[in-house]
Amino acid sequence: MAYGAPDYSNVKGDEGIFVITDLGELAAMLGCPSVFHRSGNIVYLDRFEHGHAAWQKTTSGTGAGVATVTTYPFTGAFSCELTGGSDGLKYAGISRYLGVLPSQQLGLEIAVMFRSEFDNFIMWLQYENEAATHQAFIKLSDADDSIYVYRNNNDYAKFGVLPPSILYYGLYHRMKLIADFDGSAYFRFLYDDQNFDLSDYVIGSTSNSGIPGLKITLGLYSRAGENDKAQVGVSILTQREPVP
């Protein structure tokens, strides 16, 4: 808007135009829920204020389930609770399909709270085109206090250690995975105040077996005989992440 002119007016002399050069800073000042890491352009954001109907649910095992709950929300009034089964695959997860998007420099950011011990938790970006299925995959293992990155053929590489605070009830942890499917490259993974360089790892690829597009999956694997729980407070997908 022109400075020095009435609101919504362009018929009067002005003193110049003010340009907003940092929309990320503006968003943070206005209360953006993504103040954890303000890089990239937000493609979608879900705080589960309208439930989890937009997500596909997958469960396995006795007592496994996915629910919208009001206990300890991250922001607003709701979060999505994952309860792993006590037997079978011991799994509860949610997936979201976002169609065909530009596949370079993508970021997946979440806030998650663990309400008990657990086997492992996954955050998974899968991109399919006509040629191949590409999978960027992070696994948090409470069983051995480790963080793993998926490479290919069910091969995982350990790159970090989970802190004791992972099981503090009521404490949400912020995580962000940044990867480039065009170049089949990981870039980095952020966990609370830690920043892990993943540029030495290559994204795993297989032949395409599904519909082209981007799929996001968040899932919890429970311990045998237990119905472990985790709550996802927010999920954010970004594009055009700055990379080295």
Residue 162's alpha-carbon distances to 94, 166, 171, 192, in angstroms, are 23, 7, 14, 11
- How far is 34 from 234, CA to CA, in rounded Å? 9
- How far is 33 from 40, CA to CA, in rounded Å? 14
Give the domain ranges of the chain: 1-32, 35-239
Put simply, whether the predicted model's pTM sits higher than 0.85 gets the answer no
- How far is 202 from 186, CA to CA, in rounded Å? 6
- Looking up tokens 């993504």 gives 34
Instruction: Round the CA-based radius of gyration of the chain to a whole number and report it.
Output: 20
- How far is 123 from 121, CA to CA, in rounded Å? 7
Domain boundaries 35-239, corresponding CATH code: 2.60.120.200
Digitized pLDDT (tens) for each residue of the chain, 244 residues in all: 444 555 555 555 544 454 555 565 555 445 455 556 667 788 888 889 889 999 999 999 999 999 999 999 998 889 999 999 999 999 999 999 888 877 778 999 999 999 999 999 999 999 887 778 888 999 999 999 999 999 877 789 999 999 989 999 889 999 999 998 887 889 999 999 899 999 999 998 887 667 788 899 999 999 999 999 999 999 999 888 887 6
